[in-house]
Each structure stands twice: as structure tokens, then as C-alpha cells.
């Protein structure tokens, strides 16, 4: 039921995913609205769970989650939480409601105070940079940024296959004196952390150089940056299309360069990424764009499957357990007073 183009885009995305996916798919929604599609989906091996209600895109997240226990979002997260290592939940529905419902149905990994939404951006050289939090936590404290650093680092190890991913804090300059009270306090927490390959402050432009694997920020800044980038991306596409149509000469050029430009657009397209994981909840939860088309739904499903295959959730859970053990050991060891 999720997203502006549901249920048609979701059903079409499921059909696309069925050609590639190995995991068993369970679709949750209102039978009334999905009836024309169900017999074909069931014949292809998709399990269907009829939910009595759905959460609309405009509802208040917390109220909706509390009031609509039978909604597909709440039901789906509960079902996934019951076997958290071997299942994953994906929705292109109300992201605030998914966040609230995931906290309620899955709970948090022990040691994580604030789960965060993670986005993956393309970099020069064909790599990726991980930015979190993308908007789940507006008012953050320094230890929240530290949790984001741990989660982002583990995610980069698992997804980007980086042995020792670099982690930086997003700031308005590289010098320690820059930043806000929040970034300076978080920097003090991270700068001697033996569990991280922490590189200090990074500027916005370094998201794209390919040198940084993980960039950490509060959810307000992260959200504003991501939406600004989305806006610029669209503007550039529109300007390019406009420019290419100006003269016969450039129209001819467009004909020849369209495959290249389409490749560019594909690299920057949210639909290619499909979904952003909500890290820190005690299970696998993926949030899709509200405007998801069939391709985005397919890729969201594939990313959710990948999380199960790569054992993202158990790895993350174990990491926070080890951090707690290391912390306890450090606190127990008598040390000479440091300066």
C-alpha cells in the first residue's frame, strides 16, 4: 500500500523482483484493493497477508502507528521482527510511520540510543559514500553521532566491502576549531576511538571525492543536504535537456549522447538505489522513496534481500555487544590518571 503510486507500482515492482529474488516474498496490504493482482502473485509463490487498514501518507506517524495496529506497516514489521536475522521489511509508505512502527515493533539494538536512516551517494571513480542520519533524528547529542559513526562504519564494511572504512563528521571546514557545539563534542568523543578509522571533519564536497566512506551528521543537516542535492540533480537534468534541444546542432548531439546522459542519470537516480536502511532497530528495515516507481520497488526488495544475505543485522548487533564489552573492560581496568 506504500508510496504515491501504490498499489500499482508496488505490484509491478514485485513482478520485476520475482525474476531476480531468491528470498520468499510476503506482500501485506488490503485485499479489497489488491484483489485483481492476487491470484497471479500467489501463483508465482508470493504469500499474501490481508491487513484491515493502511497508514496514509499524510497521517501523524505516532498516532497512526498507535491507532492502526492492523495496518500493513505495523503487521509487516512485527512479522519481520519475529525472525530478525533471516527476514527484512521494506516499504515505500509513510517514512515517519515506518520509523515509529519499527521502533515499536522491532525495538532498538542494545547499545543504540537513536536508529538512523542511511543513504548511499555515488562518488567519483564509481564508488559510494554513506551519509547518515538522513532525517530520522533532528535534535542530536554527541553520543548519537558516535552511534551513527559505528553503524555507518559497519554498514560500509558489509555493503561497500571496505576493510577499514573512513568515517568523518560533516562540518563547515576541516580544522578542529570549526563546526558547532554538537560537532566539536562528537569530534572529542571520536578522535581517539580505537574501533573506528576516524578522519575528523569533512566538508560537504568530500562526500563525492571517493575518499570518504562514511559521513556522519545530525538528521536535520543530513535531510536538508540530501534534499538540496536532489533539487540540484533535477535542475541539472532539466537544464541539460533544455540546452540539448536548443538548436539542430545540439539536437543531433543529444541523439548521440543520450545513452551517456541516461547512464549519468541512472547513477544519480534514487530509483536505482531503491531503499535506505533504518539502522539501529533490532531487525532489517528498509525505507523507500514516497515516489517509488516499479524499478525503485524492485531495487528496494533486492536491497532488503541483500541485507539478509550479508547478515547485516546480526553483524551490527554483535558489534554493539562487543563495544559494550570493550567499554566495560576499559572501565574496570585501573589506569594511571591521564592529562
Handedness of CA 186, 192, 195, 200 (dihedral sign): positive
Which string of b and e fits 170-193 if b means at least 16 CB within 10 Å? bbeeeeeeebeebbbbbbeebeee
Which residue, among 108, 91, 106, has the nearest Cα to 54 in the 3D structure? 91
User: Are the CB atoms for 51 and 6 separated by under 8 Å?
Assistant: no
Region of 99-107, 153-161, 189-197, 259-267 interacting with a second copy (CB under 8 A) = 259-267
CB of 163 to a second copy, least distance (A): 25
- Measured from the CB atom, the residue of 188 and 224 that comes closer to a second copy is 224
Task: Determine which helix (DSSP H) or strand (DSSP E) holds 202, and give its type and residue range.
Answer: strand 197-202
Distance (Å, rounded) from C-alpha 156 to C-alpha 286? 16
- Residue closer to a second copy, measured from CB, 67 or 231: 231
Q: Which of 244, 310, 315, 323 binds a second copy (CB under 8 A)?
A: 244
C-alpha cell at 27: 506482500
- Which lies closer to a second copy via its Cβ, residue 84 or residue 212? 212
The size of the interface with a second copy (CB under 8 A), counted in residues, is 61
Cell of 292: 517509488
Of 143 and 172, which has the nearer Cβ to a second copy? 172
Is the four-CA dihedral 266, 271, 272, 276 of positive or negative sign? Answer: positive
* Single residue of 16, 26, 229, 323 touching a second copy by CB under 8 A: 229
Q: Does 208 bind a second copy (CB under 8 A)?
A: yes
* Between 48 and 220, CB nearer to a second copy: 220
Smallest separation, CB 204 to a second copy (Å): 3
Q: Which of 52, 56, 231, 314 binds a second copy (CB under 8 A)?
A: 231
Residue length of the chain: 339
Contact 297, 6 (CB under 8 A): no
Smallest distance from the beta carbon of 136 to a second copy, in angstroms?
A: 10
Determine, following the binding rule CB under 8 A, whether residue 217 of this chain makes contact with a second copy. Answer: yes
Query: Looking at residue 118, what DSSP letter applies?
Result: E
Q: Which of 204, 211, 290, 323 binds a second copy (CB under 8 A)?
A: 204
Position among 36, 43, 263, 334 found at the interface with a second copy (CB under 8 A)? 263
Residue from 20, 230, 309, 322 in contact with a second copy (CB under 8 A): 230
The minimum distance between CB 254 and a second copy, in angstroms, equals 6
For residue 7, cis peptide bond before it (omega within 30 degrees of 0): yes
Smaller CB distance to a second copy: residue 250 or 325? 250
| Binding flag, residue 62, a second copy (CB under 8 A) | no
- Establish if 223 lies at the interface with a second copy (CB under 8 A): yes
Which listed range, 1-9, 25-33, 75-83, 239-247, lies at the site for a second copy (CB under 8 A)? 239-247
Q: Quick one: 49 or 138, whose CB is closer to a second copy?
A: 138
The answer to whether residue 188 forms part of the interface with a second copy (CB under 8 A) is no
CB of 1 closer than 8 Å to CB of 30 = yes
Q: Are 135 and 226 in contact (CB under 8 A)?
A: yes
- What's the CA gap between 172 and 203, in Å, rounded? 6
Q: Is 148 exposed, middle or buried (0-12, 13-18, 19+ CB in 10 A)?
A: buried
Query: Of 103 and 134, which CB lies nearer to a second copy in the complex structure?
Result: 134
Taking the C-alpha atoms of residue 34 and residue 37, their distance in angstroms, rounded to an integer, is 6
Least separation in angstroms between CB 214 and a second copy: 15
The secondary structure of the chain in percent helix, strand, coil, rounded to multiples of 5, reads 50, 15, 35
Query: Which positions touch a second copy (CB under 8 A)?
Result: 122-124, 135, 138-139, 170-173, 178-181, 203-209, 217, 219-221, 223-236, 238-240, 243-244, 246, 249-250, 252-261, 263-264, 267-268
Amino acid at each position: 500500500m506504500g508510496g504515491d503510486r501504490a498499489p500499482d507500482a508496488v505490484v509491478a515492482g514485485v513482478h520485476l523482483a520475482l525474476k531476480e529474488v531468491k528470498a520468499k516474498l510476503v506482500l501485506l496490504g488490503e485485499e479489497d484493493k489488491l484483489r485483481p493482482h492476487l491470484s497471479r502473485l500467489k501463483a508465482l509463490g508470493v504469500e499474501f497477508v490481508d491487513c484491515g487498514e493502511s497508514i496514509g501518507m499524510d497521517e501523524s506517524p505516532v498516532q497512526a502507528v498507535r491507532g492502526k495496529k492492523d495496518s500493513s506497516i505495523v503487521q509487516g514489521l512485527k512479522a519481520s521482527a519475529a525472525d530478525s536475522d533471516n527476514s527484512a521489511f521494506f516499504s515505500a509508505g509513510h517514512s515517519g510511520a515506518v520509523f515509529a512502527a519499527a521502533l515499536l515493533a522491532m525495538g532498538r539494538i542494545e547499545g543504540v540510543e537513536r536508529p538512523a536512516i542511511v543513504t548511499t551517494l555515488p562518488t567519483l571513480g564509481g564508488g559510494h559514500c554513506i551519509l547518515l542520519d538522513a532525517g530520522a533524528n533532528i535534535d542530536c547529542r554527541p553520543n548519537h553521532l558516535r552511534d551513527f559513526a559505528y553503524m555507518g562504519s559497519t554498514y560500509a564494511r558489509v555493503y561497500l566491502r571496505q576493510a577499514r572504512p573512513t568515517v568523518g563528521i560533516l562540518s563547515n571546514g576541516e580544522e578542529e576549531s570549526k563546526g558547532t557545539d554538537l560537532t566539536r563534542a562528537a569530534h572529542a568523543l571520536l578522535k581517539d576511538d580505537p574501533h573506528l578509522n576516524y578522519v575528523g571533519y569533512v566538508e560537504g564536497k568530500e562526500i563525492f571525492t571517493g575518499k570518504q566512506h562514511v559521513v556522519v551528521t545530525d538528521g536535520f543537516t543530513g535531510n536538508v543536504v540530501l534534499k538540496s542535492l536532489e533539487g540540484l540533480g533535477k535542475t541539472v537534468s532539466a537544464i541539460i535537456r533544455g540546452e540539448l534541444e536548443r538548436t539542430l546542432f545540439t539536437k543531433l548531439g543529444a541523439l548521440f549522447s543520450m545513452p551517456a546522459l541516461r547512464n549519468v542519470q541512472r547513477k544519480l537516480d534514487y530509483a536505482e538505489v531503491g531503499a535506505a536502511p533504518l539502522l539501529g532497530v533490532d531487525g532489517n528495515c528498509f525505507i523507500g522513496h514516497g515516489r517509488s516507481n516499479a524499478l525503485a520497488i524492485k531495487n528496494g526488495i533486492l536491497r532488503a534481500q541483500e541485507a539478509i544475505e550479508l547478515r547485516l543485522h546480526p553483524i551490527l548487533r554483535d558489534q554493539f555487544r562487543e563495544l559494550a564489552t570493550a567499554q566495560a573492560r576499559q572501565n574496570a581496568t585501573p589506569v594511571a590518571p591521564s592529562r
